[in-house]
Chains A and B, each alone.
Chain A
């Protein structure tokens, strides 16, 4: 996924994106550069799919058609064609800045104690060096969680993403028990900002608005991938920890430097590995070992009692 591609995809889907995002979270549209080029008083300058700049009166702006819930659910189950998403997390770069966690919680409307992305302080054995490890859903190719779901509310898409339909989930929490990576969270109470978003149509590709009594977890920001953007955590990282891309193209893009490189080469040159490979879950999230650390480990390793 290079920059050109990103831009073209953006142009193609700009209208839809504005519609979706505009309805769900207006502050994101107006806050991020590139789409709204200038906004003063009553008019707003927009970039059309044809590449022209146009001025439009704000009062004339209408949100684009949101896909209906049924259509959204159907589209969300299929996945993006010919894609095979992978994430690479470079542990030598992480300094526990937690910008990924914050961006993720904002995007998915999570409570402070709910983490789709959680930066853990790890120590593999008694005398080994501690390190920080961002941990999200591994989007396993042999997912233990989707197998046990009694209602097919969590499922594996063709593009590799393991997704949840919160309008179908019955809240049995069998998937939490089944997941060895503790990747899943539950809405034990009314979700954050439930009142604010109560009229917003549910989007299966972001799990928003969150639904009480159902499961939520990392979705690789499937809604952003659809409009050609990187997942929230990947773009938010200030330290170049995350690489994200398409295994079919063998290309991953760094969320901080926007540099694009070969996925297989990155994994080969840096001895990439997956978490708990012995469980046979086949994760789509790869780790690069915490070697030649860019930052020292600060803090105290938590005793796991």
Chain B
């Protein structure tokens, strides 16, 4: 930074940044309590649904022998997809030195952690025998893509958690030293423990910067793997509609679309709720809007490849599948998803007006919803059209329609991830304070000083 601040200016500026960014921690937040209460209630309803499912069997869902994967698997793919944004924003943007990504990187990591943690739960909820979950480790068979998925997801969770925690240490030390009686004593204790005795000397900062840099490089192959392997759960079968060689990149780019949308949404809520207009600026939204357009353009390209090439040939089984998507039973959902999940987020944010915070957030919301249904439409229609005819079974085996308990269980991870994101925002600053202060030209030596009373 070139602008030279006087010590007095630095201290004042840091005090303001600190007080702005810790507002979420300090305010007596009845609304947040109510919000968490409501979320917890819905989560409990979902858990009750799951208990019911474990007692009766997976038959309480709309899934049957032919459509044997339904909303749960779609949900799993969605949550894995959203978690990939941690990789894009905190790693790729950072390594390419896009400065505007810095204030957003903790938002991205928060979303990533919440999403990937819940993805793990979702896949267990889809199991017929969750009580035998440990068999994957006891009898794991390495030829199965599920084993690869478990391996890379566990690694991704670990790296994401470290990427959230390590840059947090200097911040937590500031919270430990600067926060007074405005937070509960237990919370102060937590900060004292998590700061790991941080003193803020140059050597410590060097270690943090160095470690984070290694993690940022490591997370790229791991992140790409989680979603590529997830796509192989489908692409490794012989089914028409899944048997595709571009499923890996198709899923990864789709994940960046869904993740960008989720981050825009969370950013907007933080900005509004905690008065952070100066931090999540109009420029942040402007740039996120451009990022969304770019990702959607790449995704659009993969969509064309995925549908046009087999659609040109219309081979027997693929032809049946594509006809169902384009003009048949699934056509309404298919076109709505393509328009709101790909076309609109390309066209509208091209105009500056739609990259302003509120319009962009509305577009992001629609894109996120469309992204969920996109996963649904990747999973279900293919299974409705096996190679051999579906005969001698009841009507509900032929077409899939989800049941009420199934929908409750599907919604559970949304509420639970919202709880995780809210709790993290109530415990830790939503932007990395020390990095942000450094960008503003404030020397590190002021960070651990006692604030002026």
B12 CB, min distance to chain A CBs, angstroms: 58
Instruction: Report whether A150 and B127 are in contact in the complex, using a CB–CB cutoff of 8 Å.
Output: no
The answer for the CA separation of A123 and B65 in the assembled complex, in Å, is 23
Residues in A neighbouring B387, C-beta threshold 8 A: 180-182, 276
Instruction: Report whether A213 and B126 are in contact in the complex, using a CB–CB cutoff of 8 Å.
Output: no
The answer for the CA separation of A151 and B140 in the assembled complex, in Å, is 5
B77 CB, min distance to chain A CBs, angstroms: 13
Classify the interface of chain B: helix, strand, loop or mixed: loop
Contacts A144-B238, A152-B141 hold; do A174 and B59 have CB atoms under 8 A apart? no
Residues in B neighbouring A279, C-beta threshold 8 A: 238
The answer for the CA separation of A231 and B237 in the assembled complex, in Å, is 29
Q: Is A149 an interface residue (CB 8 A)?
A: yes
Instruction: Report whether B129 and A148 are in contact in the complex, using a CB–CB cutoff of 8 Å.
Output: no
Instruction: Report whether B136 and A150 are in contact in the complex, using a CB–CB cutoff of 8 Å.
Output: yes
Instruction: Report whether B140 and A189 are in contact in the complex, using a CB–CB cutoff of 8 Å.
Output: no
Q: Is A171 an interface residue (CB 8 A)?
A: yes
Contacts A148-B237, A168-B139, A170-B136 hold; do A120 and B68 have CB atoms under 8 A apart? no
- The closest CB in chain A to the CB of B317 belongs to A180
Residues in B neighbouring A190, C-beta threshold 8 A: 56-57
Contacts A177-B68, A190-B57 hold; do A214 and B144 have CB atoms under 8 A apart? no
Q: Is B152 an interface residue (CB 8 A)?
A: no
Taking a contact as CB atoms closer than 8 A, the residue among B139, B233, B386 that contacts A151 in the complex is B139
Q: Taking A168-B132, A304-B320, A304-B390 as given, write out 10 further A-B residue pairs in contact, using a Cβ cutoff of 8 Å, ordered by the A residue number.
A: A113-B392, A118-B392, A120-B391, A148-B144, A150-B147, A169-B132, A170-B136, A180-B386, A182-B386, A213-B58
Residues in B neighbouring A212, C-beta threshold 8 A: 57, 128
**A117-143 vs B, Cβ < 8 Å mask (1 yes, 0 no):** 011111000000000000100000000
The answer for the CA separation of A188 and B59 in the assembled complex, in Å, is 4
Instruction: Report whether A113 and B397 are in contact in the complex, using a CB–CB cutoff of 8 Å.
Output: yes
Taking a contact as CB atoms closer than 8 A, the residue among A122, A149, A176 that contacts B68 in the complex is A176
Instruction: Report whether B129 and A171 are in contact in the complex, using a CB–CB cutoff of 8 Å.
Output: yes
- The closest CB in chain A to the CB of B64 belongs to A188
* Centre residue among B58, B63, B144 by max chain A CB count within 10 A: B144
Instruction: Report whether B389 and A304 are in contact in the complex, using a CB–CB cutoff of 8 Å.
Output: yes
What 4 pairs across the A-B complex have the smallest Cβ distances?
A171-B128, A213-B128, A188-B59, A150-B146
Q: Is A273 an interface residue (CB 8 A)?
A: no
Instruction: Report whether A302 and B389 are in contact in the complex, using a CB–CB cutoff of 8 Å.
Output: yes
Taking a contact as CB atoms closer than 8 A, the residue among A101, A119, A177 that contacts B237 in the complex is A177
Q: Is B309 an interface residue (CB 8 A)?
A: no
A121 CB, min distance to chain B CBs, angstroms: 6
List 14 interface pairs A-B (beta carbons < 8 Å), by A numbering: A113-B65, A120-B392, A150-B141, A150-B144, A152-B139, A170-B128, A170-B135, A177-B68, A181-B387, A182-B388, A186-B128, A214-B128, A276-B387, A304-B389
The answer for the CA separation of A212 and B53 in the assembled complex, in Å, is 12
Q: Is B133 an interface residue (CB 8 A)?
A: yes
Q: Which residues between 58 and 100 of chain B lie within 8 Å of chain A, taking CB atoms?
A: 58-59, 63-66, 68-69
* Centre residue among B57, B133, B383, B389 by max chain A CB count within 10 A: B389
Residues in A neighbouring B64, C-beta threshold 8 A: 186, 188
- The closest CB in chain B to the CB of A275 belongs to B388
The answer for the CA separation of A276 and B243 in the assembled complex, in Å, is 15
Instruction: Report whether B133 and A170 are in contact in the complex, using a CB–CB cutoff of 8 Å.
Output: yes
How many residues on the B side are at the interface (Cβ–Cβ under 8 A)? 46
Instruction: Report whether A172 and B126 are in contact in the complex, using a CB–CB cutoff of 8 Å.
Output: yes
Instruction: Report whether A113 and B238 are in contact in the complex, using a CB–CB cutoff of 8 Å.
Output: no
The tally of CB-CB contacts under 8 A between chains A and B is 140
Q: Which residues between 222 and 246 of chain B lie within 8 Å of chain A, taking CB atoms?
A: 233-234, 236-239
The answer for the CA separation of A151 and B143 in the assembled complex, in Å, is 10
Classify the interface of chain A: helix, strand, loop or mixed: loop
Residues in B neighbouring A144, C-beta threshold 8 A: 237-238
A98 CB, min distance to chain B CBs, angstroms: 9
Q: Which residues between 129 and 177 of chain B lie within 8 Å of chain A, taking CB atoms?
A: 129, 132-133, 135-136, 138-141, 143-147, 150
Q: Is B393 an interface residue (CB 8 A)?
A: yes
Residues in B neighbouring A135, C-beta threshold 8 A: 388
Contacts A119-B392, A147-B144, A172-B128 hold; do A185 and B69 have CB atoms under 8 A apart? no
**B275-314 vs A, Cβ < 8 Å mask (1 yes, 0 no):** 0000000000000000000000000000000000000000
Q: Is A35 an interface residue (CB 8 A)?
A: no
Q: Which residues between 155 and 192 of chain A lie within 8 Å of chain B, taking CB atoms?
A: 168-174, 176-178, 180-182, 184-190
**A93-120 vs B, Cβ < 8 Å mask (1 yes, 0 no):** 0000000010000000000011100111
Q: Which residues between 396 and 446 of chain B lie within 8 Å of chain A, taking CB atoms?
A: 397
Q: Is B394 an interface residue (CB 8 A)?
A: yes
- The closest CB in chain A to the CB of B399 belongs to A305
* Centre residue among A114, A152, A181, A190 by max chain B CB count within 10 A: A152
Instruction: Report whether B238 and A185 are in contact in the complex, using a CB–CB cutoff of 8 Å.
Output: no
B405 CB, min distance to chain A CBs, angstroms: 13
Taking a contact as CB atoms closer than 8 A, the residue among A122, A149, A189, A276 that contacts B59 in the complex is A189
Residues in A neighbouring B69, C-beta threshold 8 A: 173, 177
Residues in A neighbouring B135, C-beta threshold 8 A: 151, 153, 168, 170
Residues in A neighbouring B392, C-beta threshold 8 A: 101, 113, 115, 118-120
A55 CB, min distance to chain B CBs, angstroms: 46
Instruction: Report whether A149 and B144 are in contact in the complex, using a CB–CB cutoff of 8 Å.
Output: yes
The answer for the CA separation of A35 and B312 in the assembled complex, in Å, is 63
Instruction: Report whether A186 and B56 are in contact in the complex, using a CB–CB cutoff of 8 Å.
Output: no
Instruction: Report whether B391 and A172 are in contact in the complex, using a CB–CB cutoff of 8 Å.
Output: no
Q: Which residues between 34 and 68 of chain B lie within 8 Å of chain A, taking CB atoms?
A: 56-59, 63-66, 68
Taking a contact as CB atoms closer than 8 A, the residue among A152, A189, A281 that contacts B57 in the complex is A189
Contacts A147-B144, A152-B139, A171-B129 hold; do A186 and B65 have CB atoms under 8 A apart? yes
A126 CB, min distance to chain B CBs, angstroms: 12
B398 CB, min distance to chain A CBs, angstroms: 9
Q: Which residues between 196 and 216 of chain A lie within 8 Å of chain B, taking CB atoms?
A: 212-214
A178 CB, min distance to chain B CBs, angstroms: 5
Instruction: Report whether B128 and A187 are in contact in the complex, using a CB–CB cutoff of 8 Å.
Output: yes
Contacts A135-B388, A178-B237, A181-B388 hold; do A186 and B144 have CB atoms under 8 A apart? no
The answer for the CA separation of A147 and B232 in the assembled complex, in Å, is 13
Instruction: Report whether B391 and A171 are in contact in the complex, using a CB–CB cutoff of 8 Å.
Output: no
Instruction: Report whether A170 and B127 are in contact in the complex, using a CB–CB cutoff of 8 Å.
Output: yes
The answer for the CA separation of A106 and B129 in the assembled complex, in Å, is 25
